[in-house]
Structure 1
Amino acid sequence: MMEVLSYDVARVNLRFRDALHRAARSVIDGSTFILGQELEAFEAAFARYCGVEHCIGVGNGLDALMLALHAAGVRAGDEVLVPAFTFIATWNAVSLLGARPVPVEVDGSGLMDPAHLARAVTMRSRAIVPVHLYGRLADMEAIKAVAREHGLAVVEDAAQAHGASRNGCRAGGFGLAGAFSFYPTKNLGALGDGGAICTNDATLAASCRMLRNYGSQVKYRHDTVGWNSRLDDLQASLLSVKLADLEAANDRRRTVARCYHAGLSGLSGLDCPDTGGHDMVWHHFVVRCSDRAQFQEALVREGVHTAIHYPLAPFDQLSYAGQYDRTRYPVAAELARTVLSLPMADYLLDEEVSYVSSTVARVWNALHGF
């Protein structure tokens, strides 16, 4: 029996080991750890990669969303349209600014459904935060059309979509700004927390640079109330090492996804994600099944480990309990009940991918008497 973890950070970093050590030693020897040359170099490189003019490194993905939304004009009492199904950070960023997250029903892929978006707009709406969930781009053309009609800012939550693109535009370059996370399990992951804001708007970029640094452009002069949220030079140097490999890593994820799709798409009752439509980067490969707990337990016995992204929609979390009518978001509720993430990483060997695919098919058919 083969053992395949849902994700193994140690394996991700192993092939970069020597380069990461060299980068870390260089920063340690240089003794510039905050707002130094390594950060500037990474910001410039990541901006080029995303096809935007500006990149602002911050402490984490949540801060990236908060600072971008604040710079876009979101204030206490405003409403921000968010997907009804996403990781909690999307909603938290809105709430921590004193604004109110307004859920928009999602489609079967977990992406904000433009058909529901316009109906959720009110006089208090200030911004839209589409999430490129699992590495799949939201329908940005339709979302931006609603934004233009109602004068709303669009801030992309691109935490799971480093490198995803459509028609020559990459995630983070569609809206006023894009927010990224470099949490260690992301397609581009740091060795700790980290995040970034990407934008083509010079005014927003300047505002975010101040906001991340106590509202300051010049030391000990503070033009506005700000945060302390700076991507440190050590993490920036490590991210620079990995950024050079990101395209190859994403290509490998696409190969893994194609193999999974070929082996699993014909299984009766198991909803397998499609592989077409645009340049997806497969942060997760998520199937859907009604008997998830039993299926997950059976797979573990065969050495295939899975994860759930996510077992609760934000409106069902205790932090938002009683604030929303969950019956208005049946697709989001159903996704929380049925989604299951198979092992997905660029380091997976062909034999591991084959084992996962064949084991999933065999276990599924055995459970359902096929």
Structure 2
Amino acid sequence: MIMANNLLRQFSLHQAEYEKKAIEVLRSGWYVLGNEVESFEKEWANYIGTKYCVGLASGLDALWIAFRLLHIGKGDEVIVQGNTYIASVMGITINGATPIFCEPDSHFGIDVNKIENLITEKTKAILVVHLYGMASRMDKIVELCKKYRLKLVEDCAQSHGACFNNKMTGTFGDVGCFSFYPTKNLGAFGDGGAIVTNNELLANNFKIFRNYGSEKKYYNKMIGANSRLDELQAGLLRVRLRHMNELTEEKVKIANYYSANIQNEKIQLPQLVEGATGVWHQYVIQCEERTKLIEYLDKKGIGTIIHYPIPPHLSEAYKYLGYGPGYLPITEHFAKTVLSIPMYNGMTENEMACVVNALNEFN
């Protein structure tokens, strides 16, 4: 069986280092907001290219706290692409703000040519999601944010290290939000997240907010939350970060192999936008006969995942927004046709070849 994702394989690549670090943290006697978190924050900010990084409990926390501290809430609108994971939208609505859905382009990113028509007096921000590890086209988006004085938040949960015009995702806007969920390119061994920013005041406020709003123990400056990246996860992330470039190169190699060898007129391959790079959190194909393809691959022992079968605007959770089928036809078509095929570090050449051969033989 070739799994869609194999976390054990990824762990095994650097098992001794992970285990050594875990024991080191456990024996330190310090488990919350200590040296590991502080060190990781500096190392991740340095890797991404921002002045500050603040470790948090999850990627969703990074999103909703970002909008909270940017003072975006009830009565405000945030433009976001319709084909994202629902957590992106939750980051907006948790604060009482309203998501305004924009259709994606053919590269799965927000369609920059459709944003301006959605801007109203209530628009306060644009949330860009660098989906599947492919950087979105950021030049036009940055221009629009300057023109209309909008905040720019980047959801980089899947784009660790991806670039547009040689500039890393997470560095274009006011805040870059990251998830370190185990399946991510920089994945922890549990939940974890972070924000990056060049704004010192904003970074300091994130640090205060994540710890019950406390700048000094038992002295609460604001009503905050409990959202702290713990020492163990930070330490393990530091180990993985040391190997980040080689791990990314391996995924790029797999993606390039797929792109060069999958040849089936029924299958559409992903394409990067001009000027962008991909780190291939997922390799997402499209097929009009997706159900048939999934069943076929399953019989071949090849796992797949749909990212994502129900777009947020059609989910039960957002029924109150009043959208129905047909509101976002491109988004909805993606939801019916996208399919993630096996993509993970430690994948063998034989496994890659099996996936390609199976897809090429599908009819």
Q: What TM-score bracket applies, with the shorter chain setting the length?
A: over 0.9
Work out which of the residue numbers 284, 287, 302 in structure 1 matches 2:285. 287
TM-superposed CA distance for 1:276, in Å, is 6.8
**Structure 2 spans left out of the alignment, 5+ residues:** none
Q: How does 1:219-368 map to 2 (within 5 A)?
A: 219-264=217-262, 266-274=263-271, 277=274, 278-321=276-319, 323=321, 324-362=323-361, 364=362, 367=363
Q: Distance in 1 between matches of 2:255 and 2:15?
A: 26
User: How well do the aligned residues superpose, as a CA RMSD in angstroms?
Assistant: 1.2
Q: Distance in 2 between matches of 1:130 and 1:183?
A: 19
Q: Tell me which amino acid in the other structure corresponds to 1:204.
A: L
Q: Distance in 2 between matches of 1:137 and 1:336?
A: 20
SS of residue in 2 equivalent to 1:321? helix
SS of residue in 1 equivalent to 2:128? coil
How many pairs are equivalent? 361
SS of residue in 1 equivalent to 2:129? coil
Contact 1:108–1:331 (8 Å) recurs in 2: no
**Structure 1 spans left out of the alignment, 5+ residues:** none
Q: Tell me which amino acid in the other structure corresponds to 2:71.
A: G
TM-superposed CA distance for 1:322, in Å, is 5.2
User: 4+ residue runs of structure 1 moved beyond 3 angstroms?
Assistant: none
SS of residue in 1 equivalent to 2:143? helix
- Please say if 1:88 is aligned against 2:86: yes
Deviation per CA, 1:186-215: give whole Å up to 9, x if none. Answer: 001000000000011111111111111111
Q: Distance in 2 between matches of 1:148 and 1:73?
A: 18
Share of identical aligned residues, percent?
36
Q: How does 1:144-223 map to 2 (within 5 A)?
A: 144-223=142-221
Q: Distance in 2 between matches of 1:8 and 1:177?
A: 31
Q: Distance in 2 between matches of 1:137 and 1:276?
A: 8
- Please say if 1:64 is aligned against 2:58: no
TM-superposed CA distance for 1:327, in Å, is 2.5
Q: Distance in 2 between matches of 1:216 and 1:26?
A: 28
Q: Distance in 2 between matches of 1:92 and 1:245?
A: 32
Q: Distance in 2 between matches of 1:193 and 1:216?
A: 22
SS of residue in 2 equivalent to 1:69? helix
Q: Distance in 1 between matches of 2:253 and 2:95?
A: 40
TM-score (norm 2): 0.97
TM-superposed CA distance for 1:269, in Å, is 2.6
SS of residue in 2 equivalent to 1:280? coil
TM-superposed CA distance for 1:231, in Å, is 0.2
Q: Tell me which amino acid in the other structure corresponds to 1:334.
A: H
TM-superposed CA distance for 1:73, in Å, is 2.0
Q: Which residue of 2 aligns with 1:13?
A: 11
TM-score (norm 1): 0.95
Q: Tell me which amino acid in the other structure corresponds to 1:102.
A: I
Q: Distance in 1 between matches of 2:26 and 2:173?
A: 37
Deviation per CA, 1:309-363: give whole Å up to 9, x if none. Answer: 000110111001252254331110000000000101121111111111111111x
Contact 2:136–2:273 (8 Å) recurs in 1: no
Q: Distance in 2 between matches of 1:361 and 1:275?
A: 22
Q: Distance in 2 between matches of 1:81 and 1:183?
A: 25
TM-superposed CA distance for 1:29, in Å, is 1.0
Q: Distance in 1 between matches of 2:214 and 2:267?
A: 53
Q: Tell me which amino acid in the other structure corresponds to 2:346.
A: Y
TM-superposed CA distance for 1:75, in Å, is 2.0
Q: How does 1:71-150 map to 2 (within 5 A)?
A: 71-150=69-148
Contact 1:289–1:340 (8 Å) recurs in 2: yes
Pick which of 52-61 and 6-15 moved more: 6-15
Q: Distance in 1 between matches of 2:127 and 2:272?
A: 24
SS of residue in 2 equivalent to 1:327? coil
